[in-house]
Amino acid sequence: MAEVNGEIILQSEVSERLFQFKTAGQPLDPDETRATNQILDMMIDEKLIIQYGKEKEIKVPDREIQSRIDDARRRMGASMKDFEMVLAREGLTLEGYRKMVSDQILAGKVVSMEIRSQAEVTDEEALEYYNEYPEKFRKPVTLRARHIILTLAEDAPSEEEKKVLARIRDIRKKIIGGLSFAEAAKEMSQGPSAPKGGDLGEIHPGEMVESFEKAAFALKPGEVSQPVRTQFGYHLILVEKRDEPQLPPYSKIKVEVKNYIYQELMSQVREEWLKRLKKESFIDIKKKEKWTRK
C-alpha cells in the first residue's frame, strides 16, 4: 500500500493493525475505508520513527514484547493456544504479530527519547494556562443515582408494554408511600445493579442513553422520576446527590493541568519532528482507498 525509504507496507499489515485495534478495544472510524486510510497514515509515521530508532540502535527487550502480547491475550480471555488460533483466523502468525508489537514498542521508545525531552511544562506556564482557559478544567455536573428497570423489548406488543408500565407505576407508588428505593430495586429490578439496590454510582453527562440522561439530570436530590422508557425497558430513577459544575482550585488539579498542556505540546512537537523526517524521506503511497473528508 505504501513505500517508505525503500521499505514497503503491505495491505496485509494494515489488516493486522486493524485487528490489533479491535482486540484492544481502541476507537476506530466506523467507516471501514476511512479507518483503513487512517491506519495507513499512522503506519507511515510509525515506519519513519522505527527507521530512525534502528539508526540509533535502540533495542527492544524480549520481555517487553511478550508482556504486550500477554496483555492482548488476557483482554481476550484466551490461552496462548487460543490466541494463536484467533490470529490464524485473521490470517496472522504469532511471529508476525510479535514483530508488529516489537516495532510499536520501538516507536514508543524513540518518541520518549526524541520528543518528550522537548515537551516540558513549567509551574508558571501551567498556572497561566489554568487562569486563561478555566472552562477546560471545570468539572461537569455529577449525579449519584439509583435506578429500577423492568426490561422490555423495543418492539414489544402494546399489551405487554401496558402491563410493564402498570407494574413500574405500581412500584413507584409504593416508593412514594415509604418503601425504600434500594429495597425495591433489590426485590423487583431486572437489571445487573439490582443486588446493589440499583446503585449506578456517579453519572456524568454523555454516559447514559439520551432519554435516561435527560430524565436523570432534570431531577433534584431525593426525587424519583416518572417511568422512563429506553430501548432496554422502563426505568425509575432516584437522584441521591447532585454536584453542580465547579472549577477546582489550581492547587488540587495542578498535575492534571500540567498533563493536559504536556499532551498538547507533545502532539505539536511530534508533528513538527515528523515533518522534518518526511522532508528527508522518500514516501510513495501505492494504494489508498478514496473517501471524502467531511
- pLDDT tens across 265-281, in order? 878 888 888 888 888 89
CA proximity to 286, closest of 31, 43, 10: 10
CA 168/CA 192 separation, integer angstroms: 17
Beta bridge partners of 135: none
| Site of grid cell 399489551 | 159
Q: Is the full-model pTM beyond 0.75?
A: no
User: Beta partners for 7?
Assistant: 4
> What value does the mean pLDDT take over residues 179-194?
94
The tens digit of pLDDT for each residue in 162-175 reads 999 999 999 999 99
| pLDDT, tens digit, 9 for 90 and up, residues 26-51 | 777 778 788 888 889 989 988 898 89
Domains assigned to the chain:
2-121+253-285 (1.10.4030.10), 142-243 (3.10.50.40)
Question: Strands 142-151 and 7-9, how do they pair?
Answer: unpaired
Nearest to 252 by CA among 114, 138, 165: 138
